[in-house]
Chains A and B, each alone.
Chain A
Amino acid sequence: SQKIEQNSEALNIQEGKTATLTCNYTNYSPAYLQWYRQDPGRGPVFLLLIRENEKEKRKERLKVTFDTTLKQSLFHITASQPADSATYLCALVLYNQGGKLIFGQGTELSVKP
Chain B
Amino acid sequence: DTEVTQTPKHLVMGMTNKKSLKCEQHMGHRAMYWYKQKAKKPPELMFVYSYEKLSINESVPSRFSPECPNSSLLNLHLHALQPEDSALYLCASSQENEVGHSYNEQFFGPGTRLTVL
List residues of chain A with CB under 8 Å of any chain B CB. 31-32, 34, 41-46, 49, 89, 93, 95-106
In the bound complex, what is the Cα–Cα distance between A21 and B71 (angstroms)?
36
- Counted as pairs of residues, one from A and one from B, with CB atoms less than 8 Å apart, the total is 66
Closest to A32 in B: B103
In the bound complex, what is the Cα–Cα distance between A99 and B48 (angstroms)?
8
In the bound complex, what is the Cα–Cα distance between A71 and B102 (angstroms)?
22
* Option from A31, A44, A99 in Cβ contact (under 8 Å) with B108: A44
Q: How many whole Å from A100's CB to the nearest CB in chain B?
A: 5
In the bound complex, what is the Cα–Cα distance between A104 and B103 (angstroms)?
17
* Option from B101, B108, B111 in Cβ contact (under 8 Å) with A98: B101
Contact present for A43 and B108 (CB under 8 Å): yes
In the bound complex, what is the Cα–Cα distance between A34 and B41 (angstroms)?
17
Q: How many residues on the B side are at the interface (Cβ–Cβ under 8 A)? A: 30
* Max chain A Cβ within 10 angstroms of own Cβ: one of B42, B105, B108: B42
Contact present for A101 and B103 (CB under 8 Å): no
Contact present for A49 and B108 (CB under 8 Å): no
Q: How many whole Å from B5's CB to the nearest CB in chain A?
A: 11
What residues on B are CB-neighbors of A44 within 8 Å? Answer: 43, 90, 106, 108
Q: How many whole Å from B34's CB to the nearest CB in chain A?
A: 12
In the bound complex, what is the Cα–Cα distance between A31 and B105 (angstroms)?
13
Q: Is B116 positioned at the interface, with any CB of A under 8 Å from its CB?
A: no
A-contact bits for B1-29, CB 8 A (1 contact / 0 none): 00010000000000000000000000000
In the bound complex, what is the Cα–Cα distance between A3 and B47 (angstroms)?
21
- List the one stretch of B62-70, B78-86, B92-100 in contact with chain A: B92-100
